[in-house]
Chain A
């Protein structure tokens, strides 16, 4: 349950050390032979902490929501009786006798809870979202109903963007290459892959992606969300297919599964026993009512869960899928580039063969600083998708400069540019993640997720603290993401920090001081765990220092 601070740092250092030598001349398992992981290593790797909410805090949180709802009803009453002016938009007079477009209770939450703190989201930026960014200032004269840009902006440290490897850059080799592609191909495409939108740059991108993923072939799409929602139906169409889906899967995976019109069963988050139970039940009982055997079963999971910071237990899943004959769909939106010694994602992190995962899906939005998504796998799978994917048939192909950004950044990660800059980025991200998380745990925050995850969620619990945390840090020039219900369970509102290779340790130290200060003032240091031993920053950053000396 609780990730003890003691063993993590001292324990993982030797393992990581041993890997550095290997990573210099990589290709660890290109021949298909995968070194079987050792149990103690697994234990260390799956060090995940989910400290339960303290009882008092839970009670106070519910009380807070109760008050908000009561006040909501009261203010609705005031608005109805005309005491308070209504700022929300009203439908045209002509449409009065139509069936209302929205149900009233649907908008209660938005009107009375979300609107009060909506300035914490959708903050416009006016620069590249790298380690620091310019956040536009907004003001409201009517209680947050309308936000107006002042024209001024504020330089903040960026802990919100998914820029894991720091490829969101406005200059450098990626930008130059993208500019070249823009000159050569233009911005848009105006056709689909199957018609006349198959550019040579798309083919190059797919070959590069397959090489990076160490799979037979890959196919790419213009949008990450659509990669899931438009391809799962091409895999699991028709009756008699079963989808086993993690309860915390991303909306795109849920939508994709729904569009299949098949049976979907949900298992508890990252709970291997639950997967096995559901899998056994499904195979033994067959389809509902007819009891016919299932045609095929697909398990859908993500590499890193973006709200929890947890890493999927891949080796166990692979064991299960092989034992029972299910197929595995791994969404590496957040893990590709961000996990593993050479950034190859969850499979490399766990030391398993990527070919054991049937469908390797991921996006280019995060680690590569571009947009779009890919699916990698066997030649047969990819051929099927090229022919029957909704996306290759009906959607516009990927923009050429975006594709080029991916190609160039991927080559840097693989070291094909002849430098170790990619390696350095990966090590810097790993060090940043470890250091940042350890420091927060040390301060006494309740931090969720895996020790190796670059996503660090910190629990805030109370609705009022969501806004306070975000605004206070914004005051101190730190841009953070806060999330509450319905994106999280009602009592588990949280702040989510996304680390980047672009952050320097000095930057993080500054940010951590600000967070600690705000945490004290807002009484956010909830953890009941015994205080951990100090954080050894040098330990975290040793590999980075080694590499940068080499460079």
Chain B
């Protein structure tokens, strides 16, 4: 068999060689060329569209000369309200002098009347003559004054937390706190109605942001469930992905209260940490003004971080975060607005301290405030053509048009109402937003703020003016 095969094979070879020899020369030449071409194709580099062309010096110069930048900023419309601000001269207490006219103040967020309090002014004055005005340095480099430490202690005791940390600017507080913990790759579930400071903090953190419907715990749970599903698919990644929920105690832009007990339930169920922005609820909610946790009777230990500014109830400047030392202490090296900014002027720190002391001495003040909120809420609700947005016990209420007809148009109408009320002695302001920058622009509204010093007569008087003006404008 084997011998036979060999013979057959060699026979074929013989035949091939014979055929090769007999073939015409041109045939061989063409075949060889074809083979060379195929080999050439195999080894040649693939064709590239983006052939790198070196520009000549002249072309470069032309490009440089041709480039015309846009103007640094566009022209601002002449009628932009920010270019024609109302000028306040003197203290913006219960009464405020706006453009030379004395008005009842329903515009500034001085809930407890601490702005204008003589005792606070006296304490701040004493501090001014002891420490000067500025602290001339960040906390790390001799900008820590004993009054800062004192205020941090007081705030921690007041809120019943382990530690508090001070910031020099209210806006920077939550905006610095968020990126101190939440990093790239982490997930933040945020209420879509959250204020601008939170939005900027989220942007700075570079975390993945998932917005849930405003104050809608079911929507939040749906998103958390989805996340849990994804986590199961990739448990390795899930084990290092921190999860946070960001809410406000009382929403600055809506005046409603976060349903905290439900949120705490979700926290332990889905292992998410809760950060609350309490600027508008600190010194407002709860029997002792401790905020939304006290309001719902939720233990404050269940909240990972509470942030609030001292520019509303405390009527000073700056802000603070409080919580467990394990959490808060981290900001002393990682909170950008804490580390890299000059510390709060000592006199403002003392002003906040004194206001806190007054809050502790007069716990009845919070109930008084809520009573006034309810009065005003009820009165405003009865005005035809306007709608009140927010909880009755919230000192921030948003007056919207009952029949909205478009953002710009509504804003103009509300603007006219404010101006007319101002002429008649009631200071009001439209809530201002950067429409292009907001995640979700709230409907146009007049932000009404309640001051604890308002009497029932004041409220009657103010609401009747608003009602009259609204009637003529709408």
Name A residues whose Cβ lies closer than 8 Å to a Cβ of B: 89-92, 94, 97-103, 110, 114, 121-130, 133, 135-136, 149, 158, 160-163, 167-171, 174-175, 178-179, 182-200, 203, 222-226, 229-230, 233, 235, 237, 250-252, 255, 258-259, 261, 280, 283-284, 293-298, 324-327, 358-359, 363-366, 368-371, 380-381, 383-388, 390-396, 398-399, 401-402, 405, 479, 481
Q: Which A residues touch B105, using CB under 8 A?
A: 196
Tell which of A167, A190, A237, A385 touches B311, judged by Cβ atoms closer than 8 Å: A190
Question: In the assembled complex, which residues on chain B have CB atoms less than 8 Å from the CB atom of A252?
Answer: 336, 340-341
Interface residues on B, range: 35 or more
The 4 closest A-B pairs by CB, nearest first: A223-B169, A225-B341, A384-B73, A187-B351
Residues of B within 8 A of A98 (CB): 271, 273
**Which residues of A sit under 8 angstroms from B81, Cβ to Cβ?**
194
Could you list 15 A-B pairs, sorted by A, with CB under 8 Å? A103-B240, A114-B333, A125-B146, A127-B130, A174-B132, A184-B90, A184-B91, A187-B115, A190-B115, A194-B81, A196-B86, A225-B342, A283-B64, A365-B134, A366-B136
* A191 contacts B92, C-beta separation under 8 Å: yes
Q: Taking A114-B333, A182-B124, A327-B69 as contacts, is the C-beta distance between A369 and B133 under 8 angstroms?
A: yes
B321 at the interface (CB under 8 A from A): no
Chain A binder among B21-29, B196-204, B384-392: B196-204
Chain A residue nearest in CB terms to B133: A405
- Bound-complex Cα distance A94 to B324 (A): 13
**Which residues does chain B contribute within 8 Å of A359, judged by CB atoms?**
72
Indicate if the CB atoms of A197 and B108 lie closer than 8 Å: yes
In the bound complex, do residue A284 and residue B133 qualify as a contact, i.e. CB atoms below 8 Å apart? no
B403 on interface, CB distance cutoff 8 Å: no
| CB interface residues, B 80-112, toward A, < 8 Å | 80-83, 85-93, 96, 98, 105, 107-110
Knowing A195-B107, A294-B69 are in contact, say whether A127-B204 is a contact too (CB < 8 A).
Answer: no
Q: Interface digits, B304-339 against A, CB 8 Å rule (1 contact, 0 not)?
A: 000001111011110000001111011011001101
Q: Which of B87, B107, B170, B342 contacts A203 (CB 8 A)?
A: B87
Residues of B within 8 A of A174 (CB): 132-133
Binding site for A on B (CB under 8 A): 55, 60, 63-64, 67-76, 80-83, 85-93, 96, 98, 105, 107-110, 114-116, 120-121, 124-125, 128-137, 139-146, 148-149, 168-172, 181, 195-197, 200, 203-204, 238-243, 268, 271, 273, 301, 309-312, 314-317, 324-327, 329-330, 332-333, 336-337, 339-342, 344-345, 347-348, 351, 427, 429-434, 436-437, 447
Q: Tell me which residues across on chain A come within 8 A of B124, comparing CB atoms.
A: 182, 187, 401
Which B residues lie within 8 Å of A384 (CB)? 73-74, 76
| Cβ contact within 8 Å between A122 and B93 | no
Are A121 and B141 interface neighbours, CB within 8 A?
Answer: yes
Whether the pair B271, A102 counts as a contact (CB closer than 8 A) is no
Q: Which residue of B lies closest to A178 (CB)?
A: B133
Q: Is the CB of B74 within 8 A of A259?
A: no
Measured CA separation A203–B84 after assembly (Å): 12
**Given A195-B429, A371-B168: A386 and B125 within 8 A (CB)?**
no
A91: which B residues are within 8 A, CB to CB? Answer: 324, 326
Closest to A169 in B: B132
CB pair B134 A371 closer than 8 Å: yes
Question: Apart from A182-B125, A196-B105, what 11 extra A-B contacts exist at CB < 8 Å?
Answer: A92-B326, A98-B271, A125-B146, A128-B131, A186-B91, A191-B92, A192-B432, A200-B87, A364-B134, A401-B128, A479-B142
A280, B146: Cα distance in complex, Å: 52
CA distance A364 to B427 in the complex (A): 31
Given the contacts A203-B87, A370-B345, A195 and B432 also touching, CB distance less than 8 Å: yes
Give the Cβ gap from B120 to chain A, nearest Cβ, in Å.
7
Chain B residues closer than 8 Å to A399, beta-carbon distance: 316-317, 345, 348
> Within the complex, which residue of A124, A183, A295 is in contact with B145, where a contact is CB–CB below 8 Å?
A124
* A328 (CB) vs chain B CBs: closest residue: B72
Give complex CA distance A161, B268 in Å: 46
In the bound complex, residues from chain B placing their C-beta under 8 Å from that of A394 are 171, 195-197, 432, 434
A123 and B142 contact, CB distance less than 8 A: yes
Contact residue among A149, A190, A259, A325 (Cβ-Cβ distance under 8 Å from B109): A190
CA of A223 to CA of B243 in the docked complex: distance in angstroms? 31
Cα-based distance from A136 to B142 in the complex (angstroms): 10
B69 and A89 form a contact (CB under 8 A): no
Question: Is B241 in contact with A162, judged by CB distance below 8 angstroms?
Answer: no
Q: Known interface pairs A223-B168, A394-B196. Does A284 touch B64 (Cβ–Cβ under 8 Å)?
A: yes
Shortest CB–CB separation between residue B65 and chain A, in angstroms?
A: 10
User: Is B80 within 8 A of A387, CB to CB?
Assistant: yes
Known interface pairs A182-B128, A396-B309. Does A401 touch B133 (Cβ–Cβ under 8 Å)?
Answer: yes
Residues of A within 8 A of B90 (CB): 184-185
Please give, as numbers and ranges, the residues of chain B lying within 8 Å of A369 by CB-CB distance: 132-134, 136
Q: Inside 8 A of A89's CB, which chain B residues have their CB?
A: 324-326, 329
Contact of B337 among A114, A225, A298, A381 (CB under 8 A): A225
Question: Complex formed: what's the CA distance from A184 to B436 in Å?
Answer: 37
A117-B114 Cα distance, complex, nearest whole Å: 41
Cross-chain contact A175 with B129 (CB below 8 angstroms): yes
User: Does B329 contact A101, Cβ atoms closer than 8 Å?
Assistant: no
Q: Is the CB of A160 within 8 A of B107?
A: no
| Pair A195/B447 contact, Cβ less than 8 Å | yes
Contact A296 B134 (CB under 8 A): no
**Contact present for B92 and A196 (CB under 8 Å):** yes
- Closest partner residue, chain A, to B195 (CB atom): A394
Contacts A170-B129, A170-B130, A194-B432 given; does A101 touch B69 at CB 8 Å: no
Q: Which residues of A lie under 8 Å from residue B108 when comparing CB positions?
A: 189-191, 195-197
Q: From known contacts A182-B121, A371-B134, A395-B169, infer whether A129 and B128 are also in contact, taking CB-CB under 8 Å.
A: no
Partner of A168, one of B60, B136, B149, B169: B136
Report chain A residues within 8 Å CB of B196.
390, 393-394
Contact with B133, one of A94, A97, A175, A186 (Cβ below 8 angstroms): A175
B429 touches A191 (CB 8 A): yes
**B204 x A258 contact (CB < 8 A):** yes
Q: Which of A91, A171, A174, A284 is the most central at the interface, judged by chain B CB atoms within 10 Å of its CB? A: A284
Min CB–CB distance B236 → chain A (angstroms): 12
Structural contact, B172 and A223, CB atoms closer than 8 A: yes
CB nearest to A103 among chain B residues: B240
Q: Which residues of A contact B340 (CB under 8 A)?
A: 225, 250-252
Q: How far is the CA of A298 from the CA of B336 in the complex (A)?
A: 23
CA distance A529 to B182 in the complex (A): 48
Q: How far is the CA of A364 from the CA of B69 in the complex (A)?
A: 32
Q: Which of A184, A380, A399 has the most CB of B within 10 A?
A: A399
| A189, B92: Cβ atoms closer than 8 Å | yes
Query: Do A189 and B169 touch across chains, with their CB atoms under 8 A apart?
Result: no
Residues of A contacting B148 in the complex (Cβ-Cβ under 8 angstroms): 124
Considering only CB atoms, which chain B residue lies closest to A326 in the complex?
B69
Contact indicator A128/B240 (Cβ below 8 Å): no
Alpha-carbon distance A98/B181, docked complex (angstroms)? 14
Given contacts A188-B317, A394-B197, are A168 and B171 in contact (CB under 8 A)? Answer: no
Whose C-beta in chain A lies nearest to the C-beta of B268? A94
Contact A387 B67 (CB under 8 A): no
The interface residues of chain A lying within 8 Å CB-to-CB of B133 are 168, 174-175, 178, 369-371, 401-402, 405
A196 pairs with B107, CB closer than 8 A? yes
CB closest chain-A residue, reference B182: A101
Interchain CB contact under 8 A, A188 and B315: yes
Q: Say whether A390 contacts B140, CB under 8 Å.
A: no
Please indicate the chain B residues that have their CB under 8 angstroms from the CB of A200 in the complex: 87-89
Tell me the minimal C-beta distance from B471 to chain A in angstroms.
24
Assembly CA distance A369 to B346 (angstroms): 12
A149 to B145, CA, bound (A): 12
Are B55 and A296 neighbours in the complex by a CB distance under 8 Å?
no
Determine the distance from Cα of A121 to Cα of B447 in the docked complex, in whole angstroms.
43
A479 to B277, CA, bound (A): 37
B137 — which chain A residues lie within 8 A by C-beta? Answer: 129, 160-162, 365
Q: A225-B172, A386-B82, A391-B171 are in contact. Are A187 and B203 (CB under 8 A)?
A: no
**A194 and B85 within 8 A (CB):** yes
List residues of chain B with CB within 8 A of the CB of A122.
139-140, 144, 332
A149 to B64, CA, bound (A): 62
